[in-house]
Amino acid sequence: MDTLIFPALIGKAATIESISPGSGTPVKITTGADGTVTSVQPATAGVSLVNPEGTGPVRSAFCNQVHYFASREDARTWLETHPGGEVLDIEAAHRAGAAIAAAMLSAATAEDPAPDTRHDCCAP
């Protein structure tokens, strides 16, 4: 998902290339500097997602389960071995990623960027 989120966060266009683990088919996505998806090849490509239940490390619980597949049919074996998983089309995955990124940015900017370093014990 990072590859769909980062272009908008850094304001740079990107080309994302991956090999579908189901068939070995190349998957290529391009985004604009605003993060919008401008091209998907093949058009049937999708992204696998799982709900990272539990308290395990996010990398193994979520990140390692996100793959680009050439199609839902190409993801069939993965879906069978990940009963809680799903495969979203690229646009839907982008929208989900953008919502996650927006929430993260909102939380980060809500925090005080310059905390008060004055301590009451030492205040004049």
Say how many domains are in the chain. Answer: 1
Please say whether the dihedral angle defined by the alpha carbons of residues 57, 64, 39 and 77, taken in this order, is positive or negative.
Answer: negative
Cβ-based neighbour number of residue 75 at 10 Å? 25
**CATH code of the domain covering residue 51:** 3.30.450.410
Residue 11 covered by a domain: yes
List the pLDDT tens digit at each of the 124 positions of the chain: 788 888 888 889 999 999 999 899 999 999 998 888 999 999 999 999 887 666 566 666 667 778 999 999 999 999 999 888 899 999 998 888 778 777 777 877 776 555 555 444 444 4
Residue 113 covered by a domain: no
Helix axes 90-110, 2-10, angle to 10 degrees: 50
